[in-house]
Amino acid sequence: MIEIKREKKFFALGEIRLESGERLRNAQLCYQVVGTPNRSRDNLVLIPSYYGGTHWGSLPLLGADGPLAGGDYCVVLTNLFGAGWSTSPSNAAPGQGGADFPRVSLLDNVRAQKALLDRLYGEDWQLALVTGWSMGGMQTLFWAMAYPERVRAILPFCCTAHCWPHNRVFLEGVKAALCADAAWLGGRYSVPPERGLRAFGRAYAGWAYSQAFYRHELWRELRFESLEALLDYWEQDHLEQDANDLLCVLHTWQSADPARSFGDGSLAEALGRIRARAILMPGSSDLYFTVEDARHEASLIPGAELRVLESDWGHCAGGPGRSAAAMQQVFAAMAELLGR
């Protein structure tokens, strides 16, 4: 069994040109590596981070019940631009901080991750698997489109490649809750917009889980004594985050459009680029990355399988380490893709 410690390193990219045409100065990618590459460097597994989280939040995917725990794989975990550890509005170079931070896309993140892997492992390497939850899964799908020759298998769960209209509207709602705070000042606040951050967290909690999760009081499995305690947790979690960072990554999510990034305006052409063996695992009760949207995307990916993650936990079913029953389903698909 591999020993897992919480570590973080930084890869300096310098100035990079973004998909928007803007430039991000002094760009850094925060990451961690767990395990050792084999001689042929084809045992690499990439796990990009999810919205509101860091790469540490994905470490449960290396847990003892899963196929990545034995030390056979070299796992690289990365952090999204804008999320607070990689270059973000809260830590950017002078002139690009806060509201002046440039717009970053999923493809920008994937290209930076590719540069990191090139730096770490040279030019001859192969990803045995790319996997991730939520925005981590969105990046997984973008990886398979951007570099189809580099990726053998993908397991994106509780996500889609495209931000579909209802998903976008949900995000507009939580964004509006934050920006309604008088302290927001268009992102040029001198003190954190705490009321807006609290409202953002409370509004988000209603979407993150399903109706059944609340009806059956499944929040008790998370050791909350009351519904109000759960909502308080969501408030506190968002108070700890920078408002500009939250909305920066939210924009990255909302702007996800493979047809624009890869195709000629055709989602089918973009997803048709994927050559990796693919299991797409939407959550059965996910309210914004729906099974229907994921099924449509799976139909456009050559040889892809749609395997529904059955859970009453809504979108949070896929949260690494949150629901043991859901994780067993993820681990089973992961083991299949890795041939374990």
Percentage of residues of the chain with pLDDT beyond 70: 99
Mean pLDDT confidence for 190-196: 97
Q: Which residues are catalytic?
A: 134, 286, 315
Which of 133, 126, 162 has the alpha carbon at shortest distance from 147? 126
Q: For residue 214, what pLDDT band results from cuts at 50, 70 and 90? A: very high
Nearest in space to 337 (alpha carbons), one of 168, 128, 186: 128
Question: Measured between alpha carbons, how far is residue 254 from residues 242, 298, 302 in Å?
Answer: 18, 20, 25
Q: Which candidate, 137, 134, 78, 89, places its Cα nearest to that of 111?
A: 78
pLDDT at 247: 98
pLDDT digits (tens, 9 = 90+) for 73-123: 999 999 999 999 999 999 999 999 999 999 999 999 999 999 999 999 999
Q: What pLDDT is attached to residue 147?
A: 98
Q: Residue 263: its pLDDT value, please?
A: 72
Give, in words, the CATH class of 9-163+257-338: alpha beta
Mean pLDDT of 151-162: 98
Q: What is the pLDDT of residues 285-326, one digit of tens each?
A: 999 999 999 999 999 999 999 999 999 999 999 999 999 999
Query: What is residue 29's three-state secondary structure?
Result: strand
Domain ranges, ordered by start, for the chain = 9-163+257-338, 167-249
- The architecture in CATH of the region 167-249 reads Orthogonal Bundle (1.10)
- Is residue 1 over pLDDT 70? no
For 255, other C-beta atoms within 10 Å of its C-beta total 18
Is the pLDDT assigned to residue 255 strictly greater than 90?
A: yes
Q: Nearest Cα to 148, choosing from 340, 303, 320, 335?
A: 303
